[in-house]
Structure 1
Amino acid sequence: MNDIPRTPLLLGLAGLIPFVWGAVTSFAPVAWVDEIFVGYAVLADYGMIILSFMSGVIWGYATRATGRQANLLYVLSVIPALWAFFFAFGDYALLTLAAGFLLILPIDIAATRAGLAPVWWTRLRVLPTAVVVPCLVIGHLAA
């Protein structure tokens, strides 16, 4: 992690706080906080927001690409947001979100290899994914 610039690393880690909070409060809701700010609700809402944010990241890769590669990335860029919109509801919402985060990781890896993202990007993306997915699974199991 030493080669990941400090600001993206710290912001990436800060972005994990709601996921960890949601997982922890899935088992022991905090009485002094409104129920929409704990457990399943936090994980589902924030997960949809961040998965949609990742659509923008993929769109950014597309803007650096050309030709067929750019077209493919533009198409792929809308999938995470649409995935969250159409599939992240009901009893399996958190598992669906977890699958979404896992499915976009190969896109990040490919973009880094293609020179569309900085060389440190994949290392930064693996770290949050390794936290986000278990938090979503924990939230699902606790529900």
Structure 2
Amino acid sequence: MARDFTPIPKPALFLGLAGLIPFWTAVLLLVATANQGRSPATEMWVFTIYSGLIATFLGGVRWGELITARASPDSLSLGISIAPSLIALASVLTHWAGQPIAAWTMMSVCFAALWVWDRQAVLRRDLPVWYGRLRTVLTTGVVLAHLAISVAYLVLVR
């Protein structure tokens, strides 16, 4: 089977990469704020909430794919597509309970699981090949941001 080298549409690539900006801005602001001796609580909350919003968006992408690709999507797949929203809520509550690293770890695992699910959908041709490549780039950026904020928190804040 020949490889599909369809380019990522420029608007999708641009908007996807722009979606990384709030993640990395929060990381950089946490570092700057902590180095100034101020509390980075706001930056940490923005990161957690934005992470949850993006995971929820990705769950919505899967919901949309399921309802357009199948006349009658199965309950399990639809249920799994709302899991990112529930994980996001659990992450916010975990952060609120004073465990931001646990919250960021949950979200990082969520993004990795969504990537695996999306890659499987690309292999089945339920989603376009370019989307799989885009998700690989974006998931890498998001997971690295979660790792970076966790390390920065451990080193500078805790």
Query: Of 126, 132, 137, which residue of structure 2 is paired with 1:127?
Result: 137
Match of 1:41 in 2: 45
1:37, CA displacement in angstroms? 5.4
Whether 2:30 is the aligned partner of 1:26: answer: yes
Please give the alpha-carbon distance, in whole angstroms, between the structure 2 residues aligned to 1:29 and 1:2: 42
Contact 1:52–1:81, Cα closer than 8 Å, also in 2: yes
What amino acid is the match of 2:85? A
What amino acid is the match of 1:112? V
Contact 1:80–1:100, Cα closer than 8 Å, also in 2: yes
1:142, CA displacement in angstroms? 2.0
The secondary structure found in structure 2 opposite 1:28 is helix
The secondary structure found in structure 1 opposite 2:126 is coil
Residues 51-109 of structure 1 deviation map (CA, whole Å, 9 limit, x = unaligned): 111110110121133378x3132121011111111234231111111111011111111
Match of 2:11 in 1: 7
Rg: which structure is higher?
2
* Aligned CA distance change for structure 1 residues 13 and 19 (closer, same or farther; 3 Å): same
Q: How does 1:55-94 map to 2 (within 5 A)?
A: 55-66=59-70, 70-71=73-74, 72-88=76-92, 89-90=94-95, 91=99, 92-94=102-104
Whether 2:125 is the aligned partner of 1:115: answer: yes
What amino acid is the match of 2:122? T
Report the TM-score, using the length of structure 1 for normalisation. Answer: 0.85
Please give the alpha-carbon distance, in whole angstroms, between the structure 2 residues aligned to 1:6 and 1:37: 33
Report the TM-score, using the length of structure 2 for normalisation. Answer: 0.78
* Count of residues in correspondence between the two structures: 139
What amino acid is the match of 1:45? I
**Identical columns (%):** 30
CA RMSD of the aligned region, Å?
A: 2.3
Residue segments in structure 2 that go unaligned for 5+ positions in a row: 154-158
Please give the alpha-carbon distance, in whole angstroms, between the structure 2 residues aligned to 1:3 and 1:9: 10
Contact 2:52–2:91, Cα closer than 8 Å, also in 1: no
Whether 2:145 is the aligned partner of 1:138: answer: no
The secondary structure found in structure 2 opposite 1:120 is helix
Whether 2:104 is the aligned partner of 1:104: answer: no
Please give the alpha-carbon distance, in whole angstroms, between the structure 2 residues aligned to 1:15 and 1:37: 19
